[in-house]
Amino acid sequence: MSKRIRRWSAVLPLVLVAGVGVSAATAGTTADVLLSRGQPVLASSLEDGTFPAENAVDGNTTTRWASMEGVDPQWLWVDLGQAADVHRVKLNWEAAYASSYRIEVSDDGTNFTTTKSLTGQNGGTDDITGLSGHGRYVRVVGTQRGTAWGYSLFELEVYGVTDSTGDTEAPTVPAGLTSTGVTSSSVALSWSASSDNIGVSGYDVLRNGVAVATATSTSYTDVGLTADTSYSYSVRARDLAGNVSGTSTAITARTSAGGTNQFVLAAAGDIAKQCTASSSSCIHPKTANVVDFIKPANVITMGDNQYDDAYLSDFQNYYAKTWGRFKSITKPSAGNHESYAEPAFSGYEGYFGAIAKPQGKRYYSWDKGNWHFVALDSNDFVSGGSSSTQMAWLKADLAATNKGCIATYYHHPRWSTGERGSIGNAALWKVMTDNKVDLVLNGHDHHYERFYPLNGDGQRDPNGTVEIIGGMAGASPYDLGPAESITAKRLSTYGVLKLNMTDNSFTSTLLGLNNEVLDSSPTYTCKAKP
């Protein structure tokens, strides 16, 4: 045999899947079938990536699994998919064979019982019959190599009879069906697990009496529904033999009201320095032109609308001459610079008037289409602030909305890789993720940063909340810190966010000063609300 390539791989992790254990049946071959072909396999090691474990169950005698060389013991492990009486194991060895090995069977993938030990073998094909093992997992453990190399199998074949053969007992009827959340186009469902003498393989989900899906777990989200519509749901269980339970008690869930049209928003923070269009280095006149290009239904601001001390005269002399032309459609929020006036916020409130406090506070909510928007004063949530009253209001507001999509916006970001860093309030962010807020817009750090959906701990989670920092509408850019894996895109640039909103989704686009696209997000679908 030619010399083998010695490329060593790390030992593979053992992934365990719980099986169902019942008493072993009497050995026999009458109804034996091949159980291992194409099933999941693991190996203790690989010689290299060209000899993976799955080659041993692919039915192709020209491909093989090979272990690392010169090391005992080594094993190959196959998941049969369900518990079975194992009566026969056939091994087609390559030249690197086991002179001694044992065959083991397990119900749970962890605790194995030896069903056959063999010594003095000489390779070739070993066809071992008359076995009486029982379990879902079969493992061949090589304890002594027949050569100086490792262990190598062209094929591992396991034959037997699954527990589901001849089974006629149906699972119990699923109980506890409930709706765990709705949007304008989706209903989330959950229920309690059924029991079965062999094992439940899945659940049929019925909408208005018709099966629309099969779930492998005890939850399912039905999507693509019509807004403001009632649907009847029930579920039934199936087992590994195809037996079907009775149908659960039906429940009714109603999707939330949806808007009639799509709409576009423009959003940014950190806007008007004390400069005018006569200065080529003045940016807020240029970003205002980008807003003109977007032609939004509304403009959202994420604080620090005016620099530096944000007196009313500053708003009138600078902000009003550029972004002020969108005042009637603007839904602003306050930043820390708005608090620098004397008294605090007097310039901000004096300029925007009722627009700044439509509900009597600097925090408020508003609806458009199927979206619920919440503007917060995040000064209450940073050092020296008093957040309890606003937090209580926020929780009540989010609980009361029946809209399928939610966006919030405020100045201080919970997550940022910019110069100011992640200084936002952790408890506030947890409220966002707990209430399945879809989008959070922030400013404060003078750059653009779009994050992957994040959970309450700031970890990437496809069911999490998307945060976007848009503090680049006019204030001087800040330096960026080290990149982090939670960031999808970040840029030190000027621009304006264009947000395309539908009844059940949104996309964001960053437009630069020449209306060029600098970043585009994927389409995010609104999550089912608690």
The CATH number assigned to the domain holding 244 equals 2.60.40.10
DSSP assignment of 168-214 equals -PPPPPPEEEEEEEE-SSEEEEEEEPP--SS-EEEEEEEETTEEEEE
Clarify whether residues 127 and 270 are in a common domain: no
What is the widest separation between alpha-carbon atoms in the chain?
96
Q: Which residues contact 482 (CB under 8 A, 6 or more apart)?
A: 417
Cβ pair 427, 436 in contact under 8 A: no
Q: What is the CATH number of the domain that holds 111?
A: 2.60.120.260
Helix axes 426-434, 388-400, angle to 10 degrees: 10
Q: Examine residue 170 and state whether it is found in any structural domain, yes or no.
A: no
Count helices and strands (H / E) in the chain: 5, 30
Give the Cα separation of 378 and 261 in Å (integer). 31
CB 256 within 8 A of CB 185: no
Tokens of 32: 């034996």
What residues make up the domain containing 198? 175-254
301 is a domain residue: yes
Whether the CA torsion 53, 56, 57, 60 is positive or negative: it is positive
- Domain identity same for 408 and 389: yes
Tokens of 79: 């998941």
Residue at 530 is within a domain: no
Is there a single domain that holds both residue 268 and residue 367? Answer: yes
Domain identity same for 155 and 239? no
Residue 28: its pLDDT value, please?
A: 38
How far apart CA 106 and CA 135 sit, in angstroms, is 5
Instruction: In whole angstroms, give the CA distance from residue 321 to residue 299.
Output: 16
And the tokens for 266? 């423009």
Same domain, 151 and 183: no
| Nearest alpha carbon to residue 101 among 119, 113, 77 | 119
Query: Within this chain, do residues 271 and 409 fall inside the same structural domain, yes or no?
Result: yes
Q: What CATH code is carried by the domain that includes residue 349?
A: 3.60.21.10
Structure tokens, 336 = 């820390």
Name the β-bridge partners of 509.
498, 520
Write the secondary structure of 90-158 as one string of H (helix), E (strand) and C (coil): EEEECCCCEEEEEEEEECCCCCEEEEEEECCCCCCEEEECCCCEEEEEEEEEEEEECCCCCCEEEEEEE
**Looking at the structure, do residues 93 and 227 belong to the same domain, yes or no?**
no
CA atoms of 396 and 393, how far apart (whole Å): 5
How many whole angstroms separate alpha carbon 435 and alpha carbon 530?
6
Q: Is residue 433 part of a domain?
A: yes
- Report the distance separating Cα 244 and Cα 451, nearest Å: 44
Q: What is the distance between the alpha carbons of residues 419 and 405, in angstroms, rounded to a whole number?
A: 31
Total Cβ atoms within 10 A of residue 499: 25
User: Within a domain: residue 19?
Assistant: no
409 and 453 in a single domain? The answer is yes
379 lies in the same domain as 517: yes
**Pick from 467, 463, 501: which is nearest to 221 by CA?**
463
Distance (Å) of CA 356 to CA 305, 375, 377, 424, 461: 12, 10, 11, 22, 34
Burial of 73 (0-12, 13-18, 19+ CB in 10 A): middle
Cβ contacts of 404 within 8 Å, gap of 6 or more: 182, 183, 184, 185, 186, 227, 255, 256, 258, 370, 503, 504, 526, 529
- Which one of 218, 235, 254 terminates a domain? 254
Per-residue pLDDT of the chain (530 residues), as tens digits, is 333 333 333 333 333 232 323 333 333 334 789 999 999 999 999 998 889 999 999 999 999 999 999 999 999 999 998 889 999 999 999 999 999 999 999 988 889 999 999 999 999 999 999 999 999 999 999 999 999 999 999 999 999 988 877 778 889 999 999 998 887 778 889 999 999 888 898 999 999 999 988 898 999 988 777 778 899 999 999 988 778 999 999 999 998 776 656 899 999 999 999 999 999 999 999 999 999 999 999 999 999 999 999 999 999 999 999 999 999 999 999 999 999 999 999 999 999 999 999 999 999 999 999 999 999 999 999 977 788 999 999 999 999 998 999 999 999 999 999 988 898 899 999 999 999 999 999 999 999 999 999 999 999 999 999 999 999 999 999 889 998 999 999 999 999 999 999 988 999 999 999 999 999 999 999 988 87
Does 156 reside within a domain? Answer: yes
Token readout for 66 is 């090979």
Residue 9 lies in a domain: no
The residue from 99, 133, 162 where one domain ends is: 162
One domain, residues 362 and 270: yes
Distances (CA, A) of 349 to 306, 317, 442: 12, 16, 20
**Beta bridge pairs of residue 499:** 265, 508
Q: Check whether residue 268 and residue 234 sit in a common domain.
A: no
Residue 3 lies in a domain: no
Domain boundary among 198, 221, 254: 254
Pair (200, 327) in one structural domain: no
Number of domains into which the chain is organized: 3
Pairing state between β 263-268 and 219-223:
unpaired
181: alpha, beta or left, given left = phi > 0 and alpha = psi -120 to 50? left
List of E strands, 269-376: 298-301, 330-331, 364-368, 371-375
Integer angstrom CA distances of residue 380 from 384, 388, 389, 430: 8, 9, 9, 16
Instruction: Report residue 501 CA to chain centroid gap.
Output: 21
